Chains A and B, each alone.
Chain A
């Protein structure tokens, strides 16, 4: 299972790592209880500062997506109903939709895009 980091992506590396792992969990490619590589392994493979990967793992832990067990590594956490508020969940969706509207896409195109992406994520997570 591979995670891709793009140097042309404006997001910082830790964000790309966290988002990449999130996406794999959402698609069901990283199942509950699956072990994640140690921080040192990912940092060495990518050739980045240890703190970069540690920050990504911390962000995932704060989101409740992984459990960091000291000494035995990190595992994908059990999926529970999110504790985040409706507003917190809608905010990133609104930001993404705003980006698409500003990019000049029509409402129907945006809707098609959202449905297609949801199908990809939904299908793979089943």
Chain B
């Protein structure tokens, strides 16, 4: 069984690499998406790419490779150790690293390009529009999805309770309930991400306010939909677990093979769909011309380090002098910290008595 599991993990890792190639191409093209008069959302003069811009673009591309520089040595170490199951954790870690690295990379590239920008474009706009439509998690919640998630969890746990009490002396409590509890905790983490996405600020200039709002709102909806897809896949994992542990070794391989195949096919379909949707969103975003908005909070002065403590600033992330700064005085930060602490405690609890 272990040999088969290793095989599946390696296939998954290869698929992860294939998907990343597309992501790399997409991110590589991002600076020039608006044409040669733009470097991301910085309006630059026509000769920018023959001068300083060329170097900045090159540096941006180099920084894009950081996740690969982390991935390759770690993957080699994992393959050499033979503990291929660790590839799963490597993939999870890399997903986070790729997104964080990209955010910082774009921010740094834009800040480096600002001194070369067209001066008029660097003046903040005078009028800012605010949407008075309330944004709460419940406004973006699909009740059917929530019911499916709740019912699948109840069904799976009822099955597991029955399974455990059928022969409690033979089953390890942590082994029976550990995996589904981890899945449930993962779902909770995604709910936190949903809160972050809903809170994602939407400052728009008065000019082209509708285009800016539409682009931001549609992107928000896509991210929230992706969150729900992740939660549903965790629910599928919760549901499959009782099936998995109830199988005999003879039937396990066949069933698991089918399960894995379905998983791969659905992942490919979802990836293709997300890419198509992403392209549509890019088209939408290109209709809204980027502008510099006024900085009422003087963020570059109050957020000088990667973390800051600003109770009166309502944002989770501030755009500080040296890039993004995590505001420690924010409810979302408290919840995130509590989530990580809970995850550590859960792992400790599950490993106890092994």
Contact = CB atoms under 8 A, between A and B. Distances in A.
B64 interface: no
A2 B129 contact: yes
Nearest to A53: B314
Q: Which 9 A-B pairs have the closest CB atoms?
A: A43-B314, A44-B314, A44-B201, A3-B130, A2-B129, A37-B134, A1-B132, A48-B296, A49-B312
Interface residues of A, number: 31
B271 interface: no
Interface string A17-54: 10001001000001000011111111111111111000
Interface of B: 124, 126-136, 199, 201-203, 206, 209, 213, 293-297, 299, 312-315
A51 B312 contact: yes
B134 A45 contact: no
Contacts of A30: 132
Nearest to B331: A40
A84 to B, nearest CB: 25
A47 B132 contact: no
Given A1-B132, A45-B131, A50 B202 contact: no
B132 A7 contact: no
Interface in A49-75: 49-51, 73
Given A21-B132, A24-B132, A44-B314, 6 more contacts: A3-B132, A37-B132, A41-B134, A41-B135, A45-B203, A48-B296
Contacts of A3: 129-132
A85 interface: no
Nearest to B293: A47
B297 A5 contact: no
A38 B136 contact: yes
Contacts of A40: 199, 314
A46 B128 contact: yes
Contacts of B213: 2
A4 B296 contact: no
B58 to A, nearest CB: 32
A96 to B, nearest CB: 22
A4 B127 contact: yes
A77 interface: no
A47 B124 CA distance: 13
Q: Is the interface of B mostly helix, strand, loop or mixed?
A: loop
Nearest to A46: B130
Q: Is the interface of A mostly helix, strand, loop or mixed?
A: mixed
Interface of A: 1-8, 13, 17, 21, 24, 30, 35-51, 73
A2 B130 contact: yes
Given A40-B314, A49-B313, A7 B199 contact: no
Nearest to A1: B132
Given A37-B135, A47-B297, A50-B312, A42 B126 contact: no
B292 to A, nearest CB: 12
A21 B131 CA distance: 11
Contact of A7 (B130, B294, B299): B294
Contacts of B132: 1-3, 21, 24, 30, 36-37
A44 B312 contact: no
A7 B133 CA distance: 22
A3 B209 CA distance: 11
B141 to A, nearest CB: 15
B128 A4 contact: yes
A47 B296 contact: yes
Contact of A44 (B124, B129, B199, B206): B199
B344 to A, nearest CB: 29
Contacts of A24: 132
Given A5-B128, A7-B127, A50 B314 contact: yes
Contacts of A6: 126-128
A13 B202 CA distance: 17
Nearest to B129: A2
A8 B199 CA distance: 28
Contacts of B314: 39-40, 43-44, 50
